[in-house]
């Protein structure tokens, strides 16, 4: 029996996800193959999470897991912040305070063309799924899971690839962010243009609020973003219809307490959360969380899957980001 057959049989009872559900996990896992860095930062319409929830993939197999939201009381003694006391009463207060802090920071020089972007990201679902693969199968596989990745800052081949319109290289993202206008409405319109909404097999076009929040979330994944540009982005994000801020710090996949800027998906029973570090207001990760307990019927007579309110379907924590001089180098 070959390794793929054994891997499929490992969780043969798992529900079969659709293309939209598989896309994020498949891309993140394949980006780590053999130490390869990510090609860039993407904004595809099939990143949207339908009511089926998010099920990530290891190679061609779909292994289903969910993680329940941390139940400890996050209101207890949060982390010390260099920015002063947090105000989580709403998006204007929280993101405005973050922007004010970032405006006071020195803007570092743009990375050199020969430098690399190092990222370390804890992906709770992929770690759990990888752990479920038997050791004897794992040894024979051509892929591995690692939280570390390296991205070339100046990737001319990718930047000039006209056939791939749904990504931004690290350099393109930096310059896009640096050139965004001050006016929130104009800034958001620019991002919607750069990251267009989907159509055809990727789904119907999104409404403006959902489209805008997705575009913001993809740009915020890029690194580095100049602090003054990040300030403009946060002020604009506070104006997006449906955006809220959780009134207490939540715990991310690495166990840190972070700020959660949220927006419910227009369709389905989940919300997207952009996570922000309360110390320096940098991007800290993303989550997708079930907002209403519901049951999904599965094909081929398989038992229905129940998604419970509070289940975390995507849970990614960025714990380190830096500009380095060579691929494989860590700060």
- Per-domain residue ranges for the chain? 3-69+79-318
Query: What are the pLDDT digits (tens) for 93-128?
Result: 999 999 999 999 999 999 999 999 999 999 988 888
CA dist list (Å): 291 to 9, 47, 268: 31, 18, 9
Question: Can you give the pLDDT at residue 230?
Answer: 98
CB count, 10 Å around CB of 273?
A: 25
35, pLDDT greater than 80: no
CA dist list (Å): 36 to 147, 272, 328: 12, 27, 10
Dihedral Cα 136, 142, 147, 148, nearest 10 deg:
140
Burial 176-207 (b: 16+ CB within 10 A, else e): bbeebeeebeebbebbbebbebbeeebbeebe
The band of 5, judged by pLDDT with boundaries at 50, 70 and 90, is very low
Query: What are the pLDDT digits (tens) for 45-97?
Result: 433 333 333 333 322 233 233 333 333 344 344 454 545 579 999 999 999 99
The DSSP string of 224-256 is ---HHHHHHHHHHHTTSTT-EE-SS-EE-TTS-
Query: What are the pLDDT digits (tens) for 139-188?
Result: 878 777 789 999 999 987 777 766 655 578 999 999 999 999 999 999 99
The band of 199, judged by pLDDT with boundaries at 50, 70 and 90, is low
Residue reference for tokens 């990201």: 121
The C-alpha angle 206, 209, 211, rounded to 5 degrees, equals: 40
Question: Can you give the pLDDT at residue 157?
Answer: 73
pTM for the model stands at 0.76
The residue length of the chain stands at 331
Question: Can you give the pLDDT at residue 138?
Answer: 80
The C-alpha angle 292, 217, 228, rounded to 5 degrees, equals: 140
């Amino acid at each position: 029996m070959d390794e793929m057959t054994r891997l499929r049989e490992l969780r043969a009872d798992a529900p079969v996800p659709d293309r939209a559900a598989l896309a994020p996990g498949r891309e993140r896992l394949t980006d780590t193959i053999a130490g390869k860095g990510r090609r860039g930062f993407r904004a595809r319409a099939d990143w949207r999470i339908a009511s089926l929830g998010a099920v990530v993939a290891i190679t061609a197999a779909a292994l289903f897991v969910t993680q329940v939201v941390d139940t400890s009381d996050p209101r207890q003694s949060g982390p010390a912040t260099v920015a002063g006391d947090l105000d989580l009463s709403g998006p204007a207060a929280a993101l405005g305070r973050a922007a004010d802090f970032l405006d006071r920071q020195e803007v570092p020089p743009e990375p050199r063309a020969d430098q690399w972007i190092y990222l370390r990201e804890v992906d709770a679902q992929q770690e759990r799924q990888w752990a479920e693969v038997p050791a004897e199968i794992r040894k024979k596989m051509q892929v591995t899971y690692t939280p570390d990745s390296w991205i070339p800052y100046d990737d001319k081949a990718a930047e000039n690839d006209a056939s791939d319109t749904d990504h931004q290289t690290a350099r393109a993202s930096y310059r896009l962010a640096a050139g965004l206008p001050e006016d929130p409405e104009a800034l958001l319109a620019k991002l919607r243009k750069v990251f267009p909404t989907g159509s055809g097999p990727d789904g119907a076009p999104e409404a403006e609020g959902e489209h805008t929040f997705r575009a913001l979330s993809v740009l915020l994944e890029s690194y580095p973003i100049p602090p003054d540009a990040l300030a403009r982005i946060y002020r604009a994000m506070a104006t997006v219809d449906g955006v809220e801020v959780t009134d207490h710090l939540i715990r991310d996949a690495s166990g840190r307490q972070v700020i959660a800027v949220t927006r419910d998906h227009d369709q389905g029973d989940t919300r997207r959360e952009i996570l922000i570090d309360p110390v320096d207001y940098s991007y800290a990760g993303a989550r997708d969380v079930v907002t209403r307990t519901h049951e999904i019927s599965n094909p081929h007579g398989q038992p229905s899957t129940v998604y419970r309110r509070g289940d975390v379907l995507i849970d990614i924590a960025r714990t380190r980001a830096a500009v380095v001089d060579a691929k494989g180098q860590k700060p």
